[in-house]
A and B are shown apart, each in its own frame.
Chain A
Amino acid sequence: MDVLYFAWVRERIGHPKEKIDTNPATVMALVNELRAREPRYAAAFADLSALRVAIDQELSDFDAPLKNAREVAFFPPMTGG
């Protein structure tokens, strides 16, 4: 699946997008997989209350299932307008 990062999450992780060959059951399982990769991931995902997640471009929750998801994005709370 494609995993996307925006704003400071992108800066902290160091790239905007990556393809990950994995099949986690939930967003949380994906987060834990990413956290275990490298310290910069662990740092970016340290405080989930500061993060939002979108599954296939729809705002979602960390406990949401990831079945058949093609694209998961992590980003801070939005500041449009």
Chain B
Amino acid sequence: MDIRVQKDPFDLGVEANAFAERQQGMGAVVTFTGVVRDLGEGDLHAMEIEHYPGMTEKALKKIADEALSRWNLGDILIIHRHGTLKAQDMIMMVATASRHRVDAFQAAEFLMDFLKSRAPFWKKEVSDKDADWVAARDEDEDALKRW
């Protein structure tokens, strides 16, 4: 298990390759990456991500532990950035490895569902006109019920 909370950018290709290469006997690697949406129309657009140092790492570990107990996984990687990001920047990634693909796919979805509303990150969208905290969506909370 590899969990990183960092300000710096990460290289999706390098991370995905390194993750895949260190697995043994795993036939499936699934990755998901979250990207700052470009709102278009020439708006200066940035995203500020705040988090709760200490709790963030604990919450991510708890979510990853739960995934490991539910699915037959070889490994989990979670990288989540904080600080100021701009459009097209990668916010976060998860990678899962398993012998067969179903476990890796389902675990990646589970990780994302819980990471969205149970890991202490808060996003603020900044345009050239205003800055607004992103509101949590009811669908995100509802998504937890399927697990």
Please list the residues of chain A having a beta carbon within 8 angstroms of any beta carbon in chain B.
Answer: 4, 6-8, 54, 57-59, 73, 75-81
Contact = CB atoms under 8 A, between A and B. Distances in A.
B101 interface: no
Contacts of B119: 78, 80-81
Nearest to B132: A8
B112 A6 contact: no
Contacts of A81: 34, 91-92, 112, 115-116, 119, 121
Contacts of A54: 52, 55, 120
7 contacts: A54-B52, A75-B120, A76-B122, A78-B121, A79-B116, A80-B119, A81-B121
Interface string B36-68: 000000000000001010110011000000000
Size class of the contact patch on chain B: 20 to 34
Contact of A79 (B55, B59, B134): B134
B116 A57 contact: no
B118 interface: yes
A73 B135 CA distance: 19
Contacts of A4: 52
B58 A7 contact: no
Given A54-B120, A80-B80, A75 B34 contact: no
B134 A6 contact: no
Contacts of A59: 59, 118
Given A7-B133, A57-B58, A80 B52 contact: no
Given A7-B50, A54-B52, A73-B55, A79 B115 contact: no
Nearest to A56: B55
Contacts of B123: 79-80
A76 B135 CA distance: 8
Contacts of A7: 50, 122, 124, 133
A77 B54 contact: no
B122 A6 contact: yes
